[in-house]
Amino acid sequence: MPVARIESLDHEGRGVTHHEGKVIFVDGALPGETVDFSPYRKKSSYELAQISRIVRASPQRVTPRCRYFGYCGGCSMQHLDVAAQASVKQRVLEDALWHVGRVKPETVFAPLVGPGWGYRYRARLSVRYVARKGGVLVGFREKKSSYVADMSSCEVLPPHVSALFLPLRELISGFSLRDRLPQIEIAIGGEREEQMTVLVFRILDRMTAEDEAALRAFGEKHRLYLYVQPGGPDTAVPFWPIPMPELAYSLPDFGVKLAFAPTEFTQVNHGINRSLLRRAMSLLDPQPGERIADMFCGLGNFSLPIATFGADVVGIEGADALVKRAARNADANGLGARCSFAVANLFDTDEASLAKLGRFDKMLIDPPREGAVELCKALPHAADEAAPKRIVYVSCNPATLARDLSVLMHEKGYRVRGAGIANMFPQTSHVESIALIERG
């Protein structure tokens, strides 16, 4: 059986080593460990493998807190000390920047870290009725599978949400349409003393009066706010209680509060989102009278804090509903005069369409996983006075960040002044990061 020393972790949290001219990705192995491994998939240049035996363990290896780790596909790094996870993710970011984009930041920012457990304020649970497993299952998907994991708790969800797994199974088991309810979305807003937990039940058929009564009783017993969603995300409507207060989260550092619908995108980790905003504002350094673009602005998570410094913000977003939400949030916080929002497809940006928006002193870019390469290509060269003098780029994908920074650095003449990670998803391999780019 092959024996190897693990060299690093890849972007999925797998141990990486080399053996007989191939790259070997070993599930569950940590850097510095010596392991016996057993391949389960072989390709010409690489193999996927699992650990057969740990010959020498890493001092950073810990016992996973969750009993479903390795079975549930939600987490991949619970076997690594949470403090070490940030260092590993920083290495993943730096490797991606260099190997994908030939980019080396002038400064490496200290990682942004927070609690490792109970942090996840957004989640999407799958629901399946499986008679041979005793009825209804509620949870995340199994690792490397489309099946729903048979679980009764989750350590990365807040304790009061984790405690709902078994009651939810019991509730749905009693529904007449238990096989027509594939998903429950969770969204939490408010502060601890007035926390509002919303569950959105994706229900594909009409509920009976008995189903509705049981759902209302469940919400009342567990102090939940309930929505039902018969179709896409825009079909979600309040179910109980009626009327329902508005779901929102606050950013105390900037004195703003952002309302959102439970199916609209917000960051899952409220604590790290606040830390990320503090860093973004420090790097961007908004000044009164500056004209600043917030690209992929969503519901205004960055736009409103920028406006509190006296800058004029132009938020651009592809989803009309989010643009309207951002405008309402700006008005509700007394920032409407400093914020304007518009709908545009930033994945189809060119020099002409970008020029129509006017000149920006600075820019914040916060795209989805696909990145913002067309936007970066459309920007003027850094030597052009029309180019933003400073760009802060927030990313959830190191590979597309590296590609886009390569365009800004090697084609547009910008300098990558610094980059670092924010551990938005502890216990997982997800890497959130932030970079500062400036004219030379």
Q: Are residues 54 and 109 both part of a single domain? A: no
Of 61, 82, 102, the residue at which a domain comes to its end is 61
Q: Reply yes or no on whether 396 is catalytic.
A: yes
Q: How many domains does the chain have?
A: 3
pLDDT in the model for residue 369: 96
Q: Are residues 110 and 132 both part of a single domain? A: no
Q: Are residues 105 and 142 both part of a single domain? A: no
DSSP state of 147: S
Known binding-site positions: 66, 72, 75, 154, 267, 296, 301, 317, 345, 366
User: Which are the contacts of 193, defined by CB distance < 8 A and separation ≥ 6?
Assistant: none
Q: Which of 297, 339, 376, 396 is catalytic?
A: 396
Q: Are residues 108 and 196 both part of a single domain? A: no
Q: What CATH number does residue 47 fall under? A: 2.40.50.140
Of 248, 282, 309, the residue at which a domain comes to its end is 248
pTM of this prediction?
Answer: 0.95
Known binding-site positions for S-adenosyl-L-methionine: 267, 296, 301, 317, 345, 366
Q: Are residues 276 and 244 both part of a single domain? A: no
Q: Are residues 284 and 411 both part of a single domain? A: yes
Q: What CATH number does residue 367 fall under? A: 3.40.50.150
H or E element: which one contains 46? strand 46-56
User: Which are the contacts of 324, defined by CB distance < 8 A and separation ≥ 6?
Assistant: none
What is the distance between the alpha carbons of residues 185 and 366, in angstroms, rounded to a whole number?
Answer: 23
Cβ atoms of residues 136 and 438 within 8 Å:
no
User: Which are the contacts of 412, defined by CB distance < 8 A and separation ≥ 6?
Assistant: 376, 379, 380, 381, 382, 387
| Concatenated DSSP letters of 318-347 | S-HHHHHHHHHHHHHTT-GGGEEEEE--GG
What is the distance between the alpha carbons of residues 203 and 43, in angstroms, rounded to a whole number?
Answer: 42
pLDDT in the model for residue 3: 87
Q: Are residues 42 and 111 both part of a single domain? A: no
pLDDT in the model for residue 164: 98
Question: Is residue 213 assigned to a domain?
Answer: yes
DSSP 3-state helix, strand, coil percentages of the chain (rounded to 5)? 30, 30, 40
Q: What is the mean pLDDT of each run of 10 residues along the chain (440 residues)?
A: 88 90 94 94 92 95 96 95 94 95 98 97 96 88 93 97 97 95 96 85 96 98 97 94 95 97 96 98 98 98 98 97 98 98 97 96 98 98 97 98 98 98 97 96
Known binding-site positions for [4Fe-4S] cluster: 66, 72, 75, 154
Domain housing 37? 1-61
What is the distance between the alpha carbons of residues 306 and 277, in angstroms, rounded to a whole number?
Answer: 10
pLDDT in the model for residue 425: 97
Question: Is residue 79 assigned to a domain?
Answer: no
Q: Are residues 226 and 323 both part of a single domain? A: no
Q: What CATH number does residue 204 fall under? A: 2.40.50.1070
Q: Are residues 399 and 293 both part of a single domain? A: yes
**β-pair type (225-229, 196-202):** parallel
Rounded to 10 degrees, the C-alpha dihedral 63/65/70/73 comes to: -150
| Concatenated DSSP letters of 247-269 | PEEEEGGGTEEEE--TTS---S-
pLDDT in the model for residue 192: 66
pLDDT in the model for residue 10: 87
**β-pair type (432-439, 196-202):** unpaired
Q: Are residues 194 and 288 both part of a single domain? A: no
Q: Are residues 102 and 132 both part of a single domain? A: no
